[in-house]
Amino acid sequence: MVNYDTDTQTDLEPKILELKKELNGVILAHYYQESEIQDLADFVGDSLELSRRAKNTSAEVIIFAGVQFMAETAKILNPKKLVLLPDLDAGCSLSDSCPAPLFKAFREKHPDHIAITYINCSAEVKALSDIICTSSNAEKIINQIPKEQPILFSPDRNLGRYLIKKTGRDMLLWNGSCIVHETFSERKIIELQIQYPDSKLIAHPECEDQILKRADFIGSTSKLLNFVQEDSALSYIVATESGILHQMKRFVPDKTYIAAPPEKSCNCNECPYMKLNTLEKLYLCMKNKEPEIKLEPDLINRALKPIEKMLSMS
């Protein structure tokens, strides 16, 4: 019997690599992408690392295997380059929870506050912010803001609460969240901890407080990946999108990684937006040079400032 999927994939990989050469392109992928896409990418990283790579690339075309806000950031940093996203519908629930007109009103209500905004937001919201941050550099950036300066932190309330605890700063929070990081079941995680008493719980700061309270280590995707490489434990319960397990297994194959489970029997610990990108769509977007990220020059100019501020502060 012919395995259609496998045949398609093995056919596509060399074609994608050939197209990349023709386009003088670079494939950037986030850790939450399907493993086949991660394996083909020139660079796999977290939001901060991907922004840095996008800024410094000499390639003419950036093929972004991630979600819209990440590809938009790459475009803002490289307005003259063609930036392709395999599926334009790859959005983000967190970004959607913060529409620009409401965010503008929030800012206007608190004119004395500086706005530090998580990179998981639209280009319009970036343009309305003072400084962008990621989960890798948020603490470092907040610690550089003078103590007397009040702060608005948007859009993730879980990351915001975590940062308030870490920095001791009393920030005003936007009430947004990520559908994936709010899916983890505390009850099932405790069951796993009883079943695997030597395992460590490691969590992304977008998780809810009851999960973070139980975590042995909290960090961005790349910090979680570094932790399992440096730490002495042999097994981990991983509370973030399950795509990261691919790199954990690649870097430290002899350890055990258990994806933190959702309460329901579903694949809710997979980001439905990230997973819209497939190898087939990656191939087609490179072949057709679309879908392309398009942003107005004025929006690019306004959104660039808070992103550059982030890069200079991190």
Q: Note whether 86 and 285 are within 8 A (CB).
A: yes
Q: Token digits for 194?
A: 């009883």
Instruction: Verify binding: residue 206, ligand 13P, rule CB under 6 A.
Output: yes
Would you count residue 154 as binding ligand 13P (CB under 6 A)?
no
Helix pair angle (4-23, 279-288), 10° resolution: 30
Stretch of 109-117, 143-151, 255-263, 267-275 lying at the interface with ligand SF4 (CB under 6 A): 267-275
Per 3-state DSSP, the chain is made up of helix, strand and coil in percentages (nearest 5) of 45, 15, 40
- Type and span of the H or E element at 49: helix 47-56
Please identify which residue in 133, 178, 212, 307 interacts with ligand 13P, judged by CB under 6 A. 178
Asked if residue 76 lies in contact with residue 123, where contact means CB atoms within 8 angstroms, the answer is yes
What are 225's two structure tokens? Answer: 């990946």
Residue 220 binds to ligand 13P (criterion: CB under 6 A): yes
Radius of gyration of the chain (CA): 20
Of 221, 247, 269, 278, the residue at the interface with ligand 13P (CB under 6 A) is 221
Q: Does 245 bind ligand SF4 (CB under 6 A)?
A: no
User: Using CB under 6 A as the criterion, what x/- string covers residues 200-239 for binding ligand SF4?
Assistant: ----------------------------------------
Cβ-based neighbours of 283, under 8 Å, separated by 6 or more: 12, 15, 16, 19
Min CB(162)–ligand SF4 separation in Å: 14
Applying CB under 6 A, does 12 fall inside the site for ligand SF4?
no
Summarize as ranges the residues that interact with ligand SF4 (CB under 6 A). 67, 92-94, 120, 178-180, 241, 271, 273-274
Which parts of this chain interact with ligand 13P (CB under 6 A)? 31, 46-47, 120, 134-135, 178, 204, 206, 220-221
